[in-house]
Amino acid sequence: MEHYQEEAIRNHVTLCDDALIEIEEAFKKLHSRTVSQPPVIRVDIPEHRGEADIKTAYIPGLSTFAIKVSCGFFNNPSIGLPSLGGLMLAMDAKTGVPKALLADNGYLTDVRTALAGAIAADRLAKKTISTVAVFGTGMQARLQVKALKLVRDFAEVVVFGRSEEKALLYKKEIEEELNVPVHVAKNGKEAAEQADLIVTTTPAEQYILKADWLLPGVHVNAIGSDAEHKQEIEPAAFFKADKVVCDLYSQSSTIGELHHVQDFLAEHTIELGAILTGEKEGRTSERERTICDLTGTGVQDTAIANYALAKMKRSE
């Protein structure tokens, strides 16, 4: 079995158009129901604000399927460790033999999550946007705006986080890397009401984005809620939206934002893959309010693992 460490994986896998296409194709196949993807297995470690998810999927035509363990321990920054981590095991799709261990420390999950946000924004945000509001100051808060640059230009970022110190650090890093101004908002309302596109990236357990803050034309990518106890968006926002999209309804309605909207039925929700295949329409007007709930799927993990292995093997 081959072993790949985080440094090598980072050197070969970046936020790029080729990787974005692989994740987009995975969403299409997920919607077609030609894949085999079981429900998420989850372990909670509440006394340490910890959680571990196991996700997997088989995609016909790919040489391996990934089994991914992703951890989030949200007290870690206080002891100098990152909040997120994990690894992927690539299994031979013909024999079941372990082929490669990708000790990525959660990097591939970060990349495929950011690319999913870009894919959703490409189909659901206005073609011309000026301001992006980001709730949160962690890794996804950074990667989401970087990936967004693959599909949209924007003039500024507004960030809102609980820690002013972390928000100021975020401002410095994004301004230097993307060469766009970043404004630190004093509260969520200030951030949201300026935005053409809002990205929520937190492990919040009570909603932080209110329905009344969503102006006509805004798109929201909800990234943080991937467990029953997490919630970033006020339920009323889904009834205010003109279009609600998710990666997989059966998952979003059990561990995503839609879990908190009991009266919001499947027929009112569009899966992202249906838009990507052309079965359903994305944004149809400049004044539509749209929301996409992205909980993270096993097909994304298998797709990014196969992409990473192919890239690294070509360089050997």
Residue 267 has what pLDDT? 75
Query: Which CA distances in Å does 10 have to 19, 77, 105, 250, 301?
Result: 13, 22, 10, 32, 15
Nearest to 91 by CA among 316, 298, 311: 298
pTM, rounded to two decimals: 0.95
Q: Which domains does the chain have, with CATH numbers?
A: 2-108+299-314 (3.30.1780.10), 126-296 (3.40.50.720)
Query: Quick check: helix, strand or coil at residue 158?
Result: strand
Find out whether 295 and 252 touch, Cβ atoms under 8 Å.
Answer: yes
d(CA 166, CA 37): 37
Find out whether 298 and 37 touch, Cβ atoms under 8 Å.
Answer: yes
Burial class of residue 267, CB neighbours in 10 A (0-12, 13-18, 19+): exposed
Find out whether 115 and 108 touch, Cβ atoms under 8 Å.
Answer: no
pLDDT along the chain (316 residues), means of 10: 96 98 98 95 94 96 97 91 92 97 96 98 98 96 98 98 96 97 97 96 95 97 92 95 96 92 78 97 97 98 98 85
d(CA 261, CA 43): 24
What type of residue is 150? L
Residue 265 has what pLDDT? 65
Count other Cβ atoms within 10 Å, centred on residue 41: 11
Give 205-266 as a DSSP string: SS--B-GGG--TT-EEEE-S--STT---B-THHHHH-SEEEES-HHHHHHHSGGGG-TT--G
